[in-house]
């Protein structure tokens, strides 16, 4: 009997981890519900509406198990929801965008690209299958060294002009060929899209014409004549930079400097030369004895010259520390003087639609908006929000001023959104919203405060 009891106890102990694993395992709906509950910026009623909307619109995959060791796809779906909450979109629209992203991911589309493209669903309804098609096309082009903003412009055109999937495929393949031919892809896209939108040629004929024209220009070494077209990539350079705010990184620890020449080893002492003894004199038979001639004395061995001493290696001078770039204050830059131009630039983007990777008034994303606003006023800041976060000086909420950059965690994975303070009262800021484009918002609203990370000041 004791053996039976011991065996049953062992079985119960073995079964305990399995029950714990089953309890920890979640399906997609449970994963979303748990994350919304953990979010401090949503009241319970709003959480319930979102979960209900997602369950009704994503019935095919809501019970799919989320692997404990691979939550990438589930996190993308969750970020679509949080982004919609951040933009105050209706629960039904948020659920629709999240479900479209999930369908695109189920088709094998790259998650990092889906995360950017699926946000277009907040502007218009886009099927998940089409998002997957665009995401794979974007990756193909960027893998072929097409600039990301040029690939993003192809997707923007397809989205805004409702291009058929066949048209998207033709242009994607055509641009891939152009990139392999090492054409300037900004010029090429300007020619291709600019002339196609004139409506005079079909997609296939337009693509063939563009390739032939650029090959002709390359052979003749002449610049192509381009139509008046502006996409979401910027073909014109910014004004000359007066000050560049670079991300602050920790300096690497230098390795110890090795001497240029290894010290010479001392020369071994010379060995003495062997001395032969004199040969003995044998008396000759029947000959008169001759006087013994003394042997020729052996000359003493000349001592070897001592080895030339090796000069000591001069110590290596320590590397001169790099000269620090002048600060804005040292250059005479102040926000009071910069603000009128900075505000004018920022205000000019109000109403510009959100376009992932966009950098112009045709379409722009959050970090493109802040970079352009400063760049148009001769101050260069990094392109992406996480690098902008590393620039400037940290600023407390109570000390916010016009021109400060404010950062948010809208994706649940650190810095993912940035805006520009335009009024410390409120405070109010401009930012590129995925559903409203560039717009003004108040930082004190709960859905912004709950995602707020901090602020940075570029120019004092």
| pLDDT for residue 349 | 97
User: Tokens 């602020």 — which residue?
Assistant: 455
What is d(CA 334, CA 328) in angstroms, rounded to the nearest whole number? 7
List, by residue number, the catalytic residues.
366, 417, 431
Give the global pTM: 0.75
H-type alpha helices, 271-376: 335-348, 366-375
User: Tokens 């007066």 — which residue?
Assistant: 242
List all residues 6 or more positions away from 32 whose beta carbon is below 8 Å from its beta carbon.
50, 51, 54, 74, 77, 78, 81, 98
CATH dotted code for 335-457: 3.90.1720.10
| pLDDT for residue 96 | 96
Q: What is the DSSP string of 191-206?
A: HHHHHHTTTSS-HHHH
CA-closest candidate to residue 118, choices 132, 107, 106, 108: 132
| pLDDT for residue 297 | 59
Query: Is the Cβ–Cβ distance between 435 and 86 less than 8 Å?
Result: no
Domain boundaries along the sequence of the chain: 21-126, 144-230, 335-457
Query: Is the Cβ–Cβ distance between 247 and 211 less than 8 Å?
Result: no
Q: C-alpha distances in angstroms, 93 versus 48, 248, 263, 315?
A: 15, 39, 75, 70
Query: Is the Cβ–Cβ distance between 58 and 31 less than 8 Å?
Result: no
Provide the 3-class DSSP secondary structure of residue 418.
strand
Q: C-alpha distances in angstroms, 45 versus 27, 37, 48, 51, 455?
A: 22, 11, 5, 10, 31
What is d(CA 276, CA 117) in angstroms, rounded to the nearest whole number? 98
Return per-residue pLDDT of the chain as tens, 460 residues. 455 444 545 544 555 554 445 446 899 999 999 999 887 778 899 999 999 999 999 888 899 999 988 899 999 999 999 899 888 899 999 999 999 999 999 999 999 999 999 999 999 999 999 999 999 999 999 999 999 999 999 999 999 999 999 999 999 999 999 999 999 999 999 999 999 999 999 999 999 999 999 999 999 999 999 999 989 997 667 888 899 998 886 434 344 434 344 444 444 545 545 545 555 544 545 455 555 555 565 565 666 666 666 666 667 776 666 666 788 888 889 999 999 999 999 999 999 999 999 999 999 999 999 999 999 999 999 999 999 999 999 999 999 999 999 999 986 678 999 999 999 998 999 999 999 999 999 999 888 988 899 999 999 9
What is d(CA 311, CA 5) in angstroms, rounded to the nearest whole number? 85
Q: C-alpha distances in angstroms, 233 versus 11, 226, 396?
A: 64, 15, 34
Query: Is the Cβ–Cβ distance between 430 and 379 less than 8 Å?
Result: no
| pLDDT for residue 310 | 65
| pLDDT for residue 59 | 84
Q: What is the largest CA-CA distance in the chain?
A: 144
| pLDDT for residue 334 | 94
Element (H, E) at 130: helix 128-143
């Amino acid at each position: 009997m004791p053996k039976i009891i011991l065996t049953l106890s062992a079985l119960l102990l073995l079964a305990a981890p399995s029950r714990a694993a089953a309890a920890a395992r979640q399906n997609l709906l449970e994963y979303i519900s748990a994350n919304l509950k953990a979010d401090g910026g949503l009241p319970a009623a709003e959480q319930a509406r979102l979960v209900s909307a997602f369950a009704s619109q994503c019935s095919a995959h809501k019970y799919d198990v989320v692997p404990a060791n691979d939550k990438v796809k589930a996190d993308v779906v969750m970020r679509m929801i949080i982004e919609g909450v951040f933009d105050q979109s209706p629960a039904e629209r948020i659920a629709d965008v999240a479900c479209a992203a999930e369908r695109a991911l189920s088709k094998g589309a790259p998650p990092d690209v889906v995360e950017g493209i699926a946000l277009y669903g907040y502007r218009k309804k886009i099927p998940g299958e089409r998002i997957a098609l665009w995401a794979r096309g974007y990756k193909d082009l960027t893998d072929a060294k097409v600039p990301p903003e040029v690939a993003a412009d192809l997707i923007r055109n397809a989205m805004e002009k409702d291009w058929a999937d066949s048209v998207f495929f033709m242009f994607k393949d055509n641009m891939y060929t152009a990139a392999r031919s090492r054409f300037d892809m900004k010029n090429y896209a300007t020619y291709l899209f600019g002339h196609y939108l004139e409506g005079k040629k079909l997609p296939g004929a337009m693509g063939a014409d563009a390739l032939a024209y650029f090959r002709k220009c390359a052979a003749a070494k002449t610049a192509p004549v381009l139509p008046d077209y502006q996409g979401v990539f910027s073909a014109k350079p910014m004004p000359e930079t007066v000050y560049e705010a670079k991300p602050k990184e920790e300096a690497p620890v230098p390795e110890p400097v090795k001497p240029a020449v290894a010290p010479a080893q001392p020369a071994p002492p010379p060995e003495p030369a062997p001395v032969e003894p004199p040969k003995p004199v044998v008396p000759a038979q029947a000959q008169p004895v001759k006087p013994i001639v003394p042997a020729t004395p052996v000359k003493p061995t000349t001592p070897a010259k001592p080895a030339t001493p090796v000069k000591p290696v001069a110590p290596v001078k320590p590397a001169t520390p790099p000269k620090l770039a002048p600060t804005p204050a040292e250059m005479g830059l102040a926000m009071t003087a910069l603000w009128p131009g900075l505000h004018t630039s920022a205000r000019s983007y109000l109403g510009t639609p959100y376009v992932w990777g966009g950098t112009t008034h045709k379409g722009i994303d959050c970090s493109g908006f802040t970079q352009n606003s400063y760049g148009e006023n001769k101050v260069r800041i990094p392109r992406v929000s996480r690098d902008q976060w590393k620039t400037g000086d940290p600023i407390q909420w109570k000390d916010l001023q016009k021109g400060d950059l404010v950062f948010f965690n809208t994706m649940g994975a650190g810095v993912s959104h940035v805006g520009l303070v335009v009024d410390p009262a409120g405070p109010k800021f401009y930012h590129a919203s995925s559903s409203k484009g560039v717009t003004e918002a108040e930082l004190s609203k709960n859905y912004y405060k709950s995602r707020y990370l901090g602020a940075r000041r570029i120019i004092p």
